[in-house]
Structure 1
Amino acid sequence: MLTRALIVVLAILNLGVASWWLLRSEPAPAAAAKPATGVAELRWLPGGTDAAAVAQTAAAAPTAALVEREAAPTAAVAAAEAPAPAAAPLAPPADAPKPAEAAPAVAAAKPTEPVVEKPAPEKPAAPPRCVALGPFADRAAATAAQGRAGSLLAPARLREQPAASGSARYRVLLPAAASREDAQATVKRIVAAGLSDYYIISQGEESNAIALGQYRNREGAERRIAAVQAAGFQPRLVASGDAGQWWLEGQLAAGSEPAQAQQRSGAAQQRSLECTRLR
């Protein structure tokens, strides 16, 4: 069985080789090699011509074709090595920016350093100024002047300047009654309230008025008035003799002048005052 298979394979191989020999084409003749550029071509000259003489003739007088072939590469190399003609400068377009105009653009492209603004030096604050306005006849007049001055004096205070001679007197009085009987009735009420040191004025402009004390300084008179008011009465303070004077003292507001404060308060005079005295 194996033998038969080998025989069949060999037969198939023989048929394939025979078909190849029958169907193959004739080989093409080899192309003649072309001589290299710049090399003289060797030719076979029949008739016993001396090869050495032919070679000398070819070297001494190259054919025209060889000269043309050698001149062509030389011209190409010379053309390649020749410097190219300088091109004419192109005129700039009409809308091209001038160098002076382009400079700001270049400057703008550069990063700018942040500008640090130095704070303006603060002006030293002006020292405070204080004044005394007056004189006023009594406390009520000085209080009214303080109200008129308003914000021009802040802070402000009232100060009494006692008389130099020491002859000032301050009396505490109840208003005059309509009759003697009414004055006596008021005295009974005063006694019932626990107050003492009183008497009824019997003559003069203050007739039927009730005097509740006379004092040499205002502080004592004001304490007496406070006690009488606590008992339910409304006394008044009357200054007599060489009474003291009242002054309005305070610190001037920023930007105001002493003359302005004096005019607004209605004071007759104004004096410079040390601000430490107001503390």
Structure 2
Amino acid sequence: MLTRLLIVLLAILNVGVALWWLAPRAEPVAVVPPAEPGVASLEVLPSPAPGKVGPAAPVVAGTEVSASAALIATPAPAAAAEAKPAAQPPAATAAVEAKPEPAKPAENKPAEIRPPAVVQCASLGPYATQAQAQAAMSALGTDAARPRLREVPGKAASSYRVLIAPAASREEAQATAKRIVEAGFSDYFIVSQGEEANAVALGQYRNREGAERRLASLTAAGFPAKLAASGTEIAPSWWVDTATAGAATPASLKQRAAAAQQQSLDCARLR
């Protein structure tokens, strides 16, 4: 019995629900709250038919319009789609205007061209020894360019004689010759005529070295002998070859080097 009663109740409930869904319903009415004094009420405009856009409806100031109506009534202008650059603040504009102009590069002026100094070359000398020439070259300092020492070989005489100066008379010359023999020397004779008359000759040599050895032995024995060259003899000498530097001239270099002579020199020989 209880089971049948529950089945009947469930059937009644299903029929009631079905009748409720099938019953016609009234449209819900929106409840509009009362407007405040001084505020316009909301007015909803009817939507136009699909595919047809009507003229834009005027919008009353102070009223609100639905989103669909606003999109249909007010098309977005093309200019609004483009992004407008933000206005630059006044401070930034002032900073741009106050930016100083870049400094102009200094104009490169052409360097003053001076004519090159005239280089002259000269030989300074002669000096009897290499040491004297070296000291003269050091005295030139920076006024000399590419200085160098140069030796000039001497010229030997045709022969060399060793003799004792002429005596006042023939007898005095013979007495001197006797003392020379007693000292152990030989090879002598007495000059009888000419500028060297009454001189005692003690030998004639083809080279200077042999004559100097004979002279040294006689001098050591106490005889006043001397060396005489036959023909022209030129002793070896030293020269300083150099070029001028700066404002120096060959004449000024000659004075500084205490040279007796100054000879012109081809500068190509100093390279």
Under TM normalisation by the shorter chain, which class is it? 0.3 to 0.5
- TM value normalised by structure 2: 0.37
Task: Indicate the structure with greater helix content.
Answer: 1
